Structure 1
């Protein structure tokens, strides 16, 4: 998974490349992310390169190329977040005359979400109740208002839905679901699992996205929805 600063930098590089036709300079990246030195940008660039998101090209000015984006940014209909660098009044010297740049609009936001342990994408595991750590999540991944939390996926029953073992899923806390939603379901107050939700009369079907796993059909009073999947973060 990417840190908040890594996500901000990747988004900023993408935005400036699309608006200007070339990646930003290291000085521009330093100013945009409000870092004190370019060494911090070098570390972020190296981390993004090691994770396979960007590539440095030899013998070229501003030689950065985006190779891939996080899963959430590659989904159909996704609109990349805008980014506004922090500006301190009077702290920047007048630059030489140059072609005007397109204005860079809003700010990208990243929020720290609690990771509430592991969720089974396979055989259900015991209910999750304790925070294990926190993870930075782009604000654009969150579903508007409401409480969100994150879970680490364990198992492979949702691989055909693009959810792999070890992924971090972002969950909007809610107690209801529509047919087809991927939800965190609490079974008999003891087991938590990540499955696709289907209501069939007074029964609830929890469907896997892997033919190796059977659909579980349970009475509605044995299943409690604890949240709906709204995003996914993958580590490489």
Structure 2
């Protein structure tokens, strides 16, 4: 592949860098109007012309039927990384206190991390948490890893979920099982640790694990 400077004008390089920066900061692609304002372009038609050139050369892929349908593409043609907010940490051991469930709103986090595009797919409200503890180690989730979550309020039995224990004001990462009656079992993936049992009225699902980014040692 040719060097970017050999194939792109300075304006097109600026647009490409703006798209990358916007996605890192906001976690979503910019609109054409965002690009016009952010790159000092005179009109949306000029922006569209340059986006078509970037797409033709394989730097981006556009989905015209989707709002903000710009996808970064790496040099080998595979989807580029996406960005999601890092919302803090969650225990994979005993539950640890967190301020409250509202603290996991994307607006509360200024830090964005890059994740594989496959973790996002067509999902909405995706975020990441840093794992503290080893209770999910048999599921290949270790202390210091990042779990990528989709914010949901319900999960299927056996799903790995971030669960809020209301009375204790604590959160934990476990496999979720609904048992007879109103009992919930939060099952660790570590043979050395016991499950946590809670009444269903005391449990609020905050998210489902959709991917793991492992810490390299």
Q: TM-score range by the shorter chain?
A: 0.5 to 0.7
**Conserved 8 A contact 2:160-2:173:** yes
Alignment pair present for 1:123 and 2:94: yes
Residue 220 of structure 1 is matched in structure 2 by 200
TM superposition shift of 1:85 = 3.0
CA offsets 1:23-57 (integer angstroms, 9 cap, x no match) = xxxxx2854xx999xxxxxxxxxxxxxxxxxxxxx
Map 1:22-101 → 2, pairs under 5 A:
28=1, 30-31=3-4, 85-86=58-59
User: Comparing 126-135 with 221-230, which one deviates more in the overlay?
Assistant: 126-135
Runs of 4+ deviating beyond 3 Å = 104-107
* Distance (Å, rounded) in 1 between the aligned partners of 2:86 and 2:127: 6
TM-score normalised per structure 2: 0.60
* Distance (Å, rounded) in 2 between the aligned partners of 1:143 and 1:121: 26
Q: CA 1:134/1:197 → structure 2, altered by over 3 Å: closer, same or farther?
A: same
Residue 184 of structure 2 is matched in structure 1 by 204
Q: Output the aligned Cα RMSD.
A: 2.8
* Distance (Å, rounded) in 2 between the aligned partners of 1:146 and 1:137: 14
Unaligned runs of 5+ in 2: 10-56, 61-74
**Conserved 8 A contact 1:151-1:169:** yes
CA offsets 1:199-233 (integer angstroms, 9 cap, x no match) = 00311100000112110111000110000000011
Residue 111 of structure 1 is matched in structure 2 by 82
| Number of aligned residues | 145
**Conserved 8 A contact 1:143-1:172:** no
**Conserved 8 A contact 1:184-1:193:** yes
Partner SS state of residue 135, structure 1 = strand
TM-score normalised per structure 1: 0.55
Alignment pair present for 1:150 and 2:121: no
Residue 172 of structure 2 is matched in structure 1 by 193
Answer 1 or 2: which has greater helix percent: 2
**Conserved 8 A contact 1:142-1:231:** no
Unaligned runs of 5+ in 1: 1-27, 37-83, 88-103
